């Protein structure tokens, strides 16, 4: 692996860092305390990102993620790598704000990954969230009970979705629903439901531990009718590989969540080094861990863990850009980064004592924010299951 940032992305990465430092950080605490208040400052940032893409510059953001075709010689660094590098910097500033940038929702990733060219044109410019989890269907996607039935030129959706990120603020929702509950995963498809469609109702917003700048909604669907061509992918049920198209979204988005975890963990490490240095405690890179203070040795250990997670994440994004199957690598990156971010942010709070626990610093906020990064897009346990199945060549029914 070439561990340097690709030359064509360096200006963009620096811009992302400047946004994080000068735009996100100053309003981070404001929107942590004012949960469910929309950060209007983000409208301008979203327009800038779209302007970059339309001008033919670096393609970035959830709406640009897609798997490239394989078979090309050489090395390609594309939208997946750019988005991972950019989000690492943005989440160094604030995870919740990064999650609520308009038109950069996880639903945009799904549309980009599996939609037809016509659908991409129709839904261009819309902010799309993703609705998967249900009250009785979390990590086990086969347990989804939201249904979709065809009625003439429409699909009719019935069910309820919870924990929908940006569910109130978005323009559309990509909904996972089953065509036949008896057929399990094979019958699950994704549908684009635009806001304002009769039968779709936002019924509540969650109060959360972290990422409070981002809204998290419960959405109900009752005889909700959408056009027949709002299904993403084929309406045919293929018991051999039907679910693969829906799951392909995760192969692109799990490295993105890993990048978010890396960003918030790096923020905690950076500030902890700064606070400890003021007290005369520093990590000495020329000395072995056992030859320096306990706090210094702990900083070295956390840096090593974070670097391992970062390299796994870059590998998974690179594979997506180069058309290589990366389901296992995406889950490895997401599992490692999520766990590392939780551990680092909490340990930084401990190392900094009252400065880490009080609201005068952002360390306690980052510890709260990091927890979700080991839960959504599949919990730690689900990621380990995916990796185990790939390594052992077992199906989900064989290895549960």
Strands 188-194 and 231-232: antiparallel
177 burial type by CB count under 10 A (0-12 exposed, 13-18 middle, 19+ buried) = buried
| CA nearest to 374, candidates 212, 263, 257 | 257
Which runs of consecutive H residues, i.e. helices, occur in the chain? 10-19, 25-33, 42-54, 79-93, 95-99, 106-114, 117-122, 242-278, 294-321, 327-351, 354-357, 363-371, 380-392
Is residue 248 within 8 A of residue 111, CB to CB? The reply is no
Q: How far apart are CA 47 and CA 227, in angstroms?
A: 29
Angle between helices 79-93 and 242-278 (to 10 degrees): 40
Of 50, 298, 329, 377, the catalytic one is 377
377 is catalytic: yes
Q: How far apart are CA 301 and CA 293, in angstroms?
A: 12
Catalytic residues: 377
């Amino acid at each position: 692996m070439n561990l340097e940032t690709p030359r064509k992305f360096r200006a963009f990465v620096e811009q992302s860092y400047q946004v994080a430092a000068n735009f996100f950080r100053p309003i981070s605490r404001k929107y942590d305390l004012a949960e469910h208040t929309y950060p209007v400052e983000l409208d301008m940032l979203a327009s800038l990102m779209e302007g970059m893409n339309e001008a033919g510059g670096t393609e970035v953001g959830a709406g640009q993620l897609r798997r490239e075709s394989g078979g090309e010689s050489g090395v390609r660094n594309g939208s997946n790598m750019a988005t991972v590098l950019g989000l690492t910097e943005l989440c160094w500033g604030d995870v919740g704000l990064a999650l609520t940038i308009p038109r950069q929702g996880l639903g945009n990733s799904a549309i980009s990954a599996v939609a037809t060219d016509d659908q991409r044109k129709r839904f261009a410019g819309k902010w799309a969230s993703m609705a998967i989890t249900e009250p009785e269907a979390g990590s086990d996607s086969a347990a989804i009970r939201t249904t979709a039935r065809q009625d003439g030129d429409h699909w009719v959706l019935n069910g309820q979705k919870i924990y929908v990120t940006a569910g109130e603020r978005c323009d559309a929702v990509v909904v996972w629903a089953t065509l036949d509950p008896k057929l399990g995963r094979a019958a699950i498809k994704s549908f684009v439901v635009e806001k304002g469609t009769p039968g779709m109702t936002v019924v509540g917003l969650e109060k959360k531990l972290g990422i409070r700048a981002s809204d998290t909604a419960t959405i109900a669907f009752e005889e909700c009718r959408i056009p027949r061509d709002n299904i993403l992918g084929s309406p045919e049920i293929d018991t051999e590989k039907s679910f693969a198209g829906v799951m392909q979204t995760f192969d692109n988005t799990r490295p993105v969540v890993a990048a978010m975890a890396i960003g918030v963990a790096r923020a905690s490490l950076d500030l902890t080094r700064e606070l400890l240095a003021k007290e005369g405690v520093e990590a000495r890179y020329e000395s072995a861990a056992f030859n320096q203070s306990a706090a210094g040795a702990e900083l070295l250990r956390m840096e090593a863990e974070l670097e391992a997670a970062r390299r796994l994440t870059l590998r998974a994004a690179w594979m997506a850009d180069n058309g290589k199957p990366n389901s296992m690598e995406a889950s490895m990156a997401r599992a490692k980064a999520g766990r590392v971010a939780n551990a680092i942010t909490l340990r930084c709070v401990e190392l900094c004592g009252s400065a880490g626990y009080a609201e005068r610093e952002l360390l306690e906020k980052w510890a709260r924010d990091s927890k979700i990064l080991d839960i959504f897009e599949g919990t730690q346990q689900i990621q380990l299951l995916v990796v185990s199945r790939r390594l052992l060549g077992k199906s989900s029914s064989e290895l549960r």
